[in-house]
Amino acid sequence: MVEFQVYNSMTRQKETFKPRVEGKVGMYVCGVTSYDYSHIGHARAYVAFDVLYRYLKYLGNEVVYVRNFTDVDDKIIRRANEQNEDPKELSGRFCQEFLRDMSDLQCLLPTHQPRVTDHMEQIKDMIAQIISNGCAYAVDGDVYFSVDNFPKYGILSGRKLEDNRAGERVAVDSRKRNPADFALWKAAKPGEPLWDSPWGPGRPGWHIECSAMSAHYLTHTFDIHGGGMDLIFPHHENEIAQSCAACSESKVNYWMHNGFVTANDEKMSKSLGNFFTIRQVTESYHPLALRYFLLGTHYRSPVNYSISQIDIASEAVFYIYQTLQDFEDTLSALKQESEANSKTSRISQAAQVSIEKIKECITKLHNECETKLGDDLQTQPILNAALLEALRFMNNSVTTLKKKQQRQQQLATVDSLIGLKEEVVKVLDVLGLHSSSTYTEVLQQLKDKALKRALLTEDDILHSIEERNLLRKNKEFLKGDEIRRSYGKKGIAIMDVGNGSIWRPCVPVVQEEQQAVPLPQENLSTPAQQENPPLPAEK
């Protein structure tokens, strides 16, 4: 059994994860308020919890994953009024856009995706129970939670009631018994969606919806509740208060929160012009590049989005899929020959040594994956070390397999190498980086995105390659080198292979003193993660 350590925001320490029922896990993650396209902060949260979902399943658990949609809210109503659109239709449209973004990012569908408007009865029942238990009161059609009647208020955030100064986030309401009291039910206002209730027509407050829906799908006691760190207070703090006030046995065993996203070292803000939606990023970069970038930082740490970092991530994804493609092409050509050969030949001692090395590589990758993910979902060491080492091994193996020397020894290792590829794919699948598309399709998609960023067509590049080949033939190497350099600045690497040239996406070459450079100029090389000198002049 693999021990899984998670950081519990409630206890502020790592703990060994033990589900309430062995082999079964209940997980609730707060979803989006669907009034606009989702931004990369949302991507950060849902990619992180998608990895958690995948890893829990990898460990053999049956997981019930609930992620909600807030489809009635002040922001939704305001946006619908601005666009002269029905709030429900606007919200429904952006729910679908969100699902498209999640699909692009390879996030698995949760078990349940409840919407607030479909769970009004559960919400009203919970509010009624809280009132009955003396922790809420109605006034003029509104219902407020009474924080004074819940002594444990602040248990998650560590905030004290005197720290919650009224008027900073919400306008002071003189009808409240305590300025920190929060709305469970809001009385209807003209032009707003409304539902009948024992306290008059209206709609639910933001916090109560998650308490009601998590209880409906997972009961009052379940394993994991997740969301961004910005939700710790007031949203999750209020959830705890509501749920416990409605049912004294209510408990979440593990609270997990992901870190913030900044853009160019500043807080994302539309006013600063550094606010990016998922759709804006994936218009220019493959969604896998965005996912890889997000996994390159531990989920609880802040992550800084920048073009240079997404360029590096994009190049790394290209390297992964180029390696898989070359490996598959080479092995498929040799597998039939290997099967015929195994019937008549014994495995040599040298071949056995090679097989043992391959097995060691498989075991190391497997153990590193489980060790790092088992330590509070550390994805970054897997990408930067364990996976990279296995990919290098695969590339070296391809180079060896293409040589004609010691043919019998090479053929004997084919089955073991297939096992290595399967282990790499398994790791990529747990990380959500293994696409359902073919390797060829993903590579072409990455190329298409690079062309779009460079404002070029493939014909432009092929024409320049022909021009460059002619210059080299005439020994005009400096001019040929300038063509290569000019494309390097646009994120296109032109490389000489045999008697011809090929191209692939790369990190754009910038000024020498600020360079974030592409992969070295071999066809199968490792992604550059640091500064390097500019491309060398041709000889």
pLDDT in tens, 39-79: 999 999 999 999 999 999 999 999 999 999 999 999 999 99
Task: Report the alpha-carbon distance of residue 498 to residue 487 in Å, rounded.
Answer: 20
Instruction: Note the pLDDT tens digit of each residue in 228-265.
Output: 999 999 999 999 999 999 999 999 999 999 999 998 88
pLDDT at 367: 97
pLDDT at residue 536 greater than cutoff 50: no
Residue 272's Cβ-count burial label (10 Å; 0-12, 13-18, 19+) is exposed
Out of 102-116, 132-146, 353-367, 525-539, least confident range: 525-539
Q: What is the DSSP string of 456-525?
A: --HHHHHHHHHHHHHHHHTT-HHHHHHHHHHHHHTTEEEEEETTEEEEEE-PPP--GGG------SSSS-
State the Cα–Cα distance between residues 6 and 256, nearest whole angstrom.
8
Kindly report which listed range (257-271, 469-483, 511-525) carries the lowest average pLDDT score: 511-525
CA nearest neighbour of 32 among 114, 106, 88: 114
The crossing angle, in degrees rounded to 10, of helices 387-401 and 349-374 is 160
Q: What is the mean predicted confidence (pLDDT) over 282-296?
A: 98
d(CA 272, CA 280): 16
- Average the pLDDT over 208-232 and give the result: 98
CATH classification (class only), 21-267: alpha beta
**Mapping DSSP to helix (H, G, I), strand (E, B) and coil, where does residue 131 land?**
helix
Domain ranges of the chain: 21-267, 321-431, 455-514
At residue 489 the predicted structure's pLDDT band, cuts being 50, 70 and 90, is very high
Residue 518 is predicted with a pLDDT of 37
Instruction: Show Cβ contacts of residue 135 under 8 Å, excluding neighbours closer than 6 positions.
Output: 145, 146, 149, 150, 241, 245
Q: What is the mean pLDDT of the chain?
A: 90
113: nearest Cα among 75, 149, 70, 69: 69
CA distance 102 to 94: 12
Predicted local confidence at residue 1, as pLDDT: 66
| Helix residue ranges per DSSP H, 163-286 | 206-218, 237-246, 278-284
Q: For 381-430, what is each residue's pLDDT tens digit?
A: 999 999 999 999 999 998 888 876 666 677 788 889 999 999 999 999 99
pLDDT at 531: 33
CA 527 distance to own-chain centroid: 20
Q: Residue 225: which H helix or E strand, with range?
A: strand 221-228
Mean pLDDT of 292-316: 97
Task: Characterize 79-100 residue by residue with b for buried, 16 or more Cβ atoms within 10 angstroms of its Cβ, and e for exposed.
Answer: bbeeeeeebeebbbebbebbbe
Q: Is 421 left (phi over 0), alpha (psi -120 to 50) or beta?
A: alpha
- Between 537 and 316, whose confidence is greater? 316
pTM as predicted: 0.91
Is the four-CA dihedral 184, 189, 194, 198 of positive or negative sign? positive
Query: Is residue 270 scored above 60 in pLDDT?
Result: yes
Q: What pLDDT does residue 126 have? A: 98
- What is the C-alpha separation between 446 and 329, in angstroms, rounded? 19
pLDDT, position 162: 65
What six digits make up the tokens of 286? Answer: 């493959």
Q: At 3, list the tokens.
A: 């021990």
pLDDT of residue 348: 78
**What's the pLDDT at 407?**
67
Residue 364 is predicted with a pLDDT of 97
pLDDT value of residue 341: 62
pLDDT of residue 274: 81
